[in-house]
Chains A and B, each alone.
Chain A
Amino acid sequence: MATDSFILSPFRIFKGISGFLSFWYVRGSQDFWHREVNMIKGVGRDIGVLINLKLIFQPIYGDYSLIGKLIGPIFRLCRVFFGILLAIFLSFLIIACYALWLLLPPVALVMFWENLFYLLVG
């Protein structure tokens, strides 16, 4: 049971809109970036980018033969490269999602009004 009435006064509407904008752009951005940064860190950790960089000259699978010493850095570099590539790709994706996040409210509002105006007026 609401203690407030259902009447939406201009003040209430203004408060609601400003609250929504603050939530969407300020709080939403904070949460968004916090989540995405953690995701990128997790991906980097799972792929082992830093640790492979650190052990770049250590042979893989403990193969200390000449061939092993030659192949090791190559495979490690490939892994690091793949990890960086994935991070870049994810970063672009995240930026794209963030752009969508930023643009969504105004675009949705504008398109809504345009369609409504079109239907009402023709």
Chain B
Amino acid sequence: MPEEQGKQENQAVSEVIRCPECQADGFRDNGSKCPTCDGGGVLLRVRGAGDYFWGSDLSGNLSFFRLFGHALQSSARFLSYFLAFAALIYGVFFIVSQNGDFFVSFKSDVDSVRLAKDDIFGALVIAAYYFALNIVEALGVIFTERGVGTLLFWSGLLGAMCCYYFARTADLSRKEISLTDTEFKPFYEENPAKLEKAIDVSAFASVSTLGMLKKALDLAHDHAQAPGVFHLARVLLGDDDIRSLTMRMEIDTKAFGAFLDDAIKHLPTNDHYNRKKGTVMSPEMKQLAIFALQESIIAGFDMIEPEALFLALFCDQDMEKYFHDAKFDLQDIRSALLWTRSLGKVRIGNGRPRKITHTVMNKAWTARTTPELDQFSYDMTDRARSGLTGNVVNRSRELDELMRILERTSQNNALLVGEEGSGRTTIVKALANRMIHDEVLPTLRDKRLVVLDITALIAGASAGGDLELRIQKVLEDMGRGGNIILYIPDIHNLAAAGNGEGFDASKILSPILSQGLFQIIGSTDYRNYHRFIEPRGDFANGFDTVKVEELNEKDALQVLAIQAGYIEAREGVTMTYGAIKKTVELSNRYLPDRLLPGKAIDLLSETAVEVRRRGEGQTLRDEDIMKIITEKTGIPLESINSNEAEKLLNLEESLHRRVIGQDQAIKSVSSAIRRVRVGMKLQNRPIGAFLFIGPTGVGKTELAKALAEIYYGNEEAMIRLDMSEYQTVDSVEKLIGYSSSEGSDDNAGGGILTEAVKRNPFSLLLLDELEKANKNVLNLFLQVFDDGRLTDNLGRTVDFTNAIIIATSNAGSKEVSKIFVDENSDNDRILEMLDPYLLQYFTPEFLNRFTDKIVFHSLTPRNLLLIAQLQIKGLAKRLDEAQGIKVELSDEAVSYLVEVGYNAEYGARFLQRTMQEKLENLIAVEFLKGNIKRGDTFRVEVEQLKQI
């Protein structure tokens, strides 16, 4: 059956205890068991309640026949069975061939019957009779004949029985890990009862694990050393499954092998273990084996498998360091292991579509057909029977809650509330799987889970009761059917259907829900729940809600691990574990408007298609994922190359091409960008939050635009809010959204700020004239600056961690103007002087949350000259593009404009207005008079400007 996967991770608190009496050996010098530890030597104490030890040496466990049985379990099993049964089959054919006339008499009998009666059916009956007779005769021959053929037959049969015995006893000699057994409770219960006796974990090791341990002992014996972690790791590297795992994780097995060989070479010899001839486990090995039990429980194995031994290597510091240097931790390897094991379970069905058999009737023969309902629905239980519902990961909480509601005798309708992509339909599929396997209470057994297609229901329904009629017919069918549980996805569409036509579908459904005539499961998202369902009291009260939250990254990784196998097979690419992990990480971070695991699955599929385009048999790595995300978002995720490094180092220069002066401000924001790009940014904060203080027209907004262009690639990647529009108390709701009610405008349920950032999380947020905002609005931004997130009115979290926030303020600008502030002024000293004025508008804790507060100085005539040149250049470019006219100004003309346009209070804006009045008006008039035409170069002199 499709599996529901995902066990609780064991967070066991364990300690290793070494027996002081025998130095953790387990045996005394005379070879007898140590009485203190009873031969255990090393004990793992879990939560102070359970003691686990390795109690046996390997000699008894690895008898020839047990190993032979193990061989039968491995790939040699087929060969062994084949040999045994080949002898059996040979014997059978030998015997049958001795009875050659069987076929002749059979045919003549059939022909005679057919000729006589022309009765095919009769001929077949005769043929079956003779066939059975001859089988019995052949069987009789086996017992009556004596010879080589019969000897082969009987010896083959005996061989087959022996093979079966060896294989089964190899299985049966081991115990299985069962989490319902008391002996494992300390691993996953918080306050378990103390176990009466210590548990010998060697009984839970599979034969292949025992084989690995034995090989490690032999390797140590060959080097006359005490067996340890390096010997075990070296042996594990030779295992096919482990090699497959390391290959998928892009661990360089050659380098790893060389590291282990080198480590083994430098280990000291040990006469004590050398004398034991490779049969006794050292304390280190025992500790590894005991930790492997812990890993087996976490991984959900039935026994201690070699992969668990591989995970147990992490208990050694040197091994942990090696993997850490290779950028892997224990959790990575656990997830990769889950993935490689699930790869073996992928069944694609050979490309043939699976047939869905429609089952209407229940076993009790009480159901009836539902033709009206069938027109607008499909049967989920039919799909579950055909294996089309897939695997479900870690939704047991929501599923159990759903089933508890449905299995009640009253008030047994459920509403799944969660954002789109959170997995609401997946939970319903899991329910269908349980229903077809009868893993539900009797109230849900033998029923059909039918999914209503609201689009089909509403489509084509004309006004005047058509939709109402359809709904009535569907409900009648359900009542008649008697064995239907109806799932209505996006039930809010039905609730709102008919609105404005004097008809409310929810009013039809409400009495049905309250009377419990049949069961309905609905699904909706938070926004539409508040808009369409909550206001309809009776309808809403008919349901019990089940919240469906987005999967966390860890669970999403498990889902993706399962799906990756299907994507690999479908696209013909090979994936590395790093790619899968990166997919979850980057999709969660950079695609905030969708939920896990859907967005991760889509991203992986898209990248696989892209990789497939490169050719057959390509490998999908994490760089491919980063490339796709960069293309989608414009954020450079690939490693910094030399061109970009140069660009980042010269960021100030790039910004100065648009912003004149203001060196302190440019330096501060450039430093923040460099820190982000190198990966030093705090993950839960915006990229930077800056407060620009200064008089108007000195370049605050211009710097924001320049930064948006350079960092985000587009000047339009800027969300601009004029905070003077948010001076009232209700401004908070404008920003984060109102409590929705039907008929509200588009912003209902979504605020201006939250929706803008949600739609475009990679942008520059410019808050103009921040001091004018209401105090409640300022408090809102406290959370943004601290946590990089904001919760809107519907409870959805909006991510600000990819935004640069720039707030501008004219607070204290008059005082700034009074003090002569230029490029050389000390920013900190000026801020100190401005503090009292800033505190009139902002609280200290608010000011404290800015990455930097920068005072913009008034523009000097020199600055204005450069600005004028910049603006003239811009104007010339626009004119050239628009009219094909080139414009040049003499130096005197430029100086005149700067002289006339200089105003310390209004800054560059005054210059801009002056240039519009003088220069642009002049050009416009001359053009209209016909004095300048397309292709001309218009030279402006100061006298011309003075005349305007």
Q: Which residues of A contact B (CB under 8 A)?
A: 1-4, 6, 16, 19-20, 23-24, 27, 45-48, 51-52, 55, 58, 60-62, 75-76, 79, 104-105, 108-109, 111-112, 114-116, 118-119
CB distance from B153 to the nearest CB of A (A): 8
CA distance A114 to B215 in the complex (A): 44
B120 adjacent to chain A (CB < 8 Å): no
* B-side contacts of A47, CB under 8 Å: 363
Q: Is the CB of A119 within 8 A of B58?
A: no
Interface residues of A, dominant DSSP: helix
Q: Are B151 and A61 in contact (CB under 8 A)?
A: no
Contact B63 A115 (CB under 8 A): no
Find out whether the CB atom of B172 lies under 8 angstroms from the CB atom of A111. Answer: no
Report yes or no: A115 in contact with B147, Cβ–Cβ below 8 A. yes
Mark contacts of B724-736 with chain A using CB atoms, 8 A cut-off: 1 yes-contact digit, 0 otherwise.
Answer: 0000000000000
A108–B161 contact, CB under 8 A?
yes
Q: Which residues of the other chain, A, contact B215 by a CB distance below 8 angstroms?
A: 1
Known: A23-B165, A55-B366, A62-B368. A112 touches B155 (CB 8 A): yes
- With a cutoff of 8 Å between Cβ atoms, the chain B residues found around residue A3 in the complex are 58-59, 62-63, 214, 279
Contact bitstring B355-385, A, C-beta under 8 A = 1, else 0: 0000000011111100000000000000000
- Is A115's CB under 8 angstroms from B150's CB? yes
Contact B161–A48 (Cβ < 8 Å):
no
Q: When the two chains form their complex, are residues A52 and B364 in contact, meaning their CB atoms are under 8 A apart?
A: yes
A-side contacts of B62, CB under 8 Å? 1-4
Residue of B nearest to A114 (CB): B146
Neighbouring A residues of B169 by C-beta, 8 Å: 19, 23
Do A108 and B63 contact each other (CB < 8 Å), given the known contacts A3-B58, A61-B368, A119-B148?
A: no
A58 CA to B365 CA in the complex, in Å? 9
| A115 in contact with B154 (CB, 8 Å) | yes
A23 CA to B367 CA, complexed, in Å: 48
CA distance A79 to B157 in the complex (A): 41
Which one of A45, A55, A115 has the highest number of Cβ atoms from chain B below 10 Å of its Cβ? Answer: A115
Q: Given A27-B172, A108-B157, A108-B158: A48 and B480 within 8 A (CB)?
A: no
**B218 within 8 Å of A (CB atoms):** yes
In whole angstroms, what is the CA distance A6 to B885 when docked? 102
- A115-B148 Cα distance, complex, nearest whole Å: 8
- The answer to whether A46 and B363 touch across the interface, beta carbons within 8 angstroms, is yes
Q: Which residues of A contact B165 (CB under 8 A)?
A: 19-20, 23-24
Q: Is the Cβ of A4 less than 8 Å from the Cβ of B63?
A: yes
Shortest C-beta distance, B372 to chain A (Å), equals 15
- The reply to whether A116 and B151 contact each other, CB–CB distance below 8 Å, is yes
Return the 6 tightest CB-CB contacts between A and B, nearest first. A48-B363, A115-B151, A118-B146, A112-B154, A60-B365, A2-B64
- In angstroms, Cα B168 to Cα A20, docked, is 11
When distances are taken between beta carbons in the complex, the residues of chain B under 8 Å from A2 are: 62-64, 67
Give A23 to B172 CA distance when docked, in angstroms.
10
Number of inter-chain CB pairs below 8 Å: 92
B residues in contact with A109, CB < 8 Å:
158
- The contact sample of 24 A-B pairs, CB cut-off 8 A, is A2-B62, A2-B63, A2-B67, A3-B59, A4-B62, A4-B64, A16-B65, A20-B165, A23-B165, A23-B168, A45-B363, A45-B438, A46-B363, A55-B364, A55-B366, A60-B366, A61-B368, A75-B365, A108-B158, A112-B158, A115-B150, A115-B151, A115-B154, A119-B151
Closest approach, in angstroms, between the C-beta of B935 and any C-beta of chain A?
90
B482 in contact (CB, < 8 A): yes
List chain A residues, Cβ under 8 A from B366: 55, 58, 60-62
A61–B63 CA distance with the chains assembled, in angstroms? 63
Q: How far is the CB of B361 from chain A (nearest CB, A)?
A: 8
Residues in B lying within 8 Å of A, measured CB to CB = 58-59, 62-65, 67, 142-143, 146-148, 150-151, 154-155, 157-158, 161-162, 165, 168-169, 172, 214-215, 218, 279, 363-368, 438, 446, 480, 482
- B146 and A104: CB pair below 8 A? no
Q: Shortest distance in angstroms between A78's beta carbon and chain B's nearest beta carbon?
A: 11
**Quick one: closest A residue to B172, CB to CB?**
A27
Cα-based distance from A52 to B364 in the complex (angstroms): 6
Shortest Cβ gap from B212 to chain A (Å): 12
Closest to B218 in A: A1
Determine the chain B residues whose CB is within 8 A of the CB of A104 once the complex forms. 157, 161
Task: Assess whether A118 is in contact with B59, with CB atoms less than 8 Å apart.
Answer: no
Q: Which residues of chain B come closer than 8 Å to A51, judged between CB atoms?
A: 363-364, 446
In the complex, A91→B236 CA distance in Å?
A: 48
B147 — which chain A residues lie within 8 A by C-beta? 115, 118-119
Cα distance A77–B515 in the bound complex, in angstroms: 34
Chain B: CB-nearest residue to A47: B363
Is there an interface contact between A52 and B59, defined as CB atoms closer than 8 Å? no
Contact of A111 among B143, B168, B279 (CB under 8 A): B143
Are B154's CB and A61's CB within 8 A? no
Query: CA–CA, A60 to B363, complex, Å?
Result: 11
Residue in A1, A16, A118 with the greatest tally of chain B CB atoms within 10 Å: A1
Bound CA span A51–B446, Å: 11
Residue numbers in A under 8 Å from B446 (CB-CB): 51
A76 touches B365 (CB 8 A): yes
Chain B residue contacts of A48, Cβ below 8 A: 363-365
Which chain A positions have C-beta within 8 A of B364? Answer: 48, 51-52, 55, 58
Chain B residues whose C-beta falls within 8 Å of the C-beta of A24 in the assembled complex: 161, 165
A27 to B171, CA, bound (A): 13
Q: A1-B214, A51-B364 are in contact. Are A105 and B168 (CB under 8 A)?
A: no
B323 to chain A, nearest CB (A): 29
With a cutoff of 8 Å between Cβ atoms, the chain A residues found around residue B64 in the complex are: 2, 4, 6
Name the CB-closest residue of A to B148. Answer: A119
Minimum CB–CB distance for A81 against chain B, Å: 14
**How close is B437's CB to chain A, nearest CB, in angstroms?**
11
Q: Which residues of A contact B143 (CB under 8 A)?
A: 111
B905 CB to nearest A CB, Å = 88
With both beta carbons as reference points, the residue of chain B lying nearest to A48 in the complex is identified as: B363
Please, how many angstroms separate the alpha-carbon atoms of A56 and B143 in the complex?
Answer: 51
Note all chain A residues with C-beta closer than 8 A to B158. Answer: 108-109, 112
Q: Which of B148, B154, B214, B365 contacts A108 (CB 8 A)?
A: B154
Nearest-neighbor residue (CB-CB) of B482 within chain A:
A62
B8 CB to closest chain A CB (Å) equals: 29
Q: Which A residues are in CB contact (< 8 Å) with B151?
A: 112, 115-116, 119
C-alpha gap A55/B161 in the complex (Å): 47
User: In this complex, what residue of A is CB-closest to B155?
Assistant: A112
Q: Pick the most buried of B172, B214, B366: most chain A CB atoms within 10 A of its CB.
A: B366
- Other than A4-B59, A55-B365, A61-B368, give 18 A-B pairs with Cβ distance below 8 A: A2-B62, A2-B64, A3-B279, A23-B168, A27-B172, A46-B363, A47-B363, A48-B364, A55-B366, A58-B364, A61-B367, A104-B157, A108-B154, A109-B158, A115-B147, A115-B150, A115-B151, A119-B146
* Residue in A closest to B369 when the chains form the complex, CB atoms: A61
